[in-house]
Structure 1
Amino acid sequence: MSPALPIDLHQTELWLLAEKAIYWPAQRALLVADIHFGKASAYRRLGQPVPHGTTQANLQQLDTLLARYPCDRLIFLGDFLHAPESQSPATFAPLLAWRESHPALRITLVRGNHDRRAGDPPASLGMEVVTEPLLLGPFALQHEPHPHPTHHVLAGHLHPAFCLRGRGRQRLRLPCFCIGPQVSVLPAFGNFTGMMDIDADPGRRLFVVGDGCVWQVA
């Protein structure tokens, strides 16, 4: 078990990170799916008691990875913003301050379903916003996990998790990377997101993350 587990996918080395992201050494790129900035704020506007500080926690996690791995580019695989209510000063103030601390970093957002509803981030964040797929090397970078006719898909959207079963009724549900023959799915990076259980089907490799490590379970 390791905080960064290298795998070979289509003759390309990718590192699965315990922080629920992928590092692509050859591209000096960090891939992140489903960060859902402003989700807690949107829920609080509806009167729901939800945690504070999730935006700052997500930004600190990004800072940790950008300091640890040499990155020229950060690519969000959809759902950067959660909802129209996320377009607020409370959400954007910390994002703008964070962006100012990384002025040379190229940031690309591949729009997801929540982004289409929430709207694009403000131009002041200095982000390139594109419609899926973004073709890079052997991969189609998408939000929706639909197969591409010529490229292996790296996507988000599903927030995959795998349930480890112990003795008796013991169960531990952990986020996971799902590496398939045509489509691979990243776990949700955001700290305030749900998860969807994934089965260990034939031809599919599953790597769970927990306690600062990544390890293969199927």
Structure 2
Amino acid sequence: MTIDSSSPSPPIRVVLAEDQVLIRDSLKVLIDATPGLATVGEAGTGAEAVLLARRRRPDVVLMDVRMPDMDGIEATRRICADPDSAGVRVLILTTFDLDEYVYASLRAGASGFLLKSATAAELLAAIHIVASGEALLAPTVTRRLIAEFLQRPHPAPLVRDLNDITQREREVLTLIGKGMSNSEIAEHLHLTVGTVKTHIGRLLAKLHARDRAQLVIAAYEGGLVTVPDGPHRCRPR
């Protein structure tokens, strides 16, 4: 008789940063009722979110944008820049579908951006995606990044020197900027998905980027991708 000594994986630990108590309570009930997820803290202000991220070191912070004391974007910036909360992923959750929020939150270090109009299943899936180290970067978010980037004639570079990346890594980064998935990049470049993941890992290390979201921004700020080259053209406003 064989005894399975394997233990279940620990749950994904989530901090809720939301100033509206009713919404926060609803999120807590949803997350705590989902196997594999658990809330480990609640914050009603941006400053509280930063403190909780440092003390509890959750896997994911669900972060509202508009909060008292400190908005979610500034809170995200502080969490991602603080060595004491290194490894904490931030998922922006907001009712405001505005270009400035998308761009600013991802530049601040957020790993994803989700509207509160999303379904419960979409929210739970987003938490898993972000906790796994991936970025929640839907094509609609990519379009907004492009639009916002074009409105900023001289953006401060987030990552900057692309001289140290190889030609193949440059090709992969360009396709990431165009919004392609790993499988699409692999097919386009005639590589295996595993090889693509290896190139992405090297890009993250060389460009000091937290995740795929920042690689998209790096591709645009490095001039590798322009709107006419990308799959999603943005109408002028």
The two structures share one fold, judged by TM-score above 0.5: no
Larger fraction in helix: 2
Larger fraction in strand: 1
User: Greater RCO between the two (CA within 8 Å, min separation 6)?
Assistant: 1
TM-score normalised by structure 2 residue count: 0.27
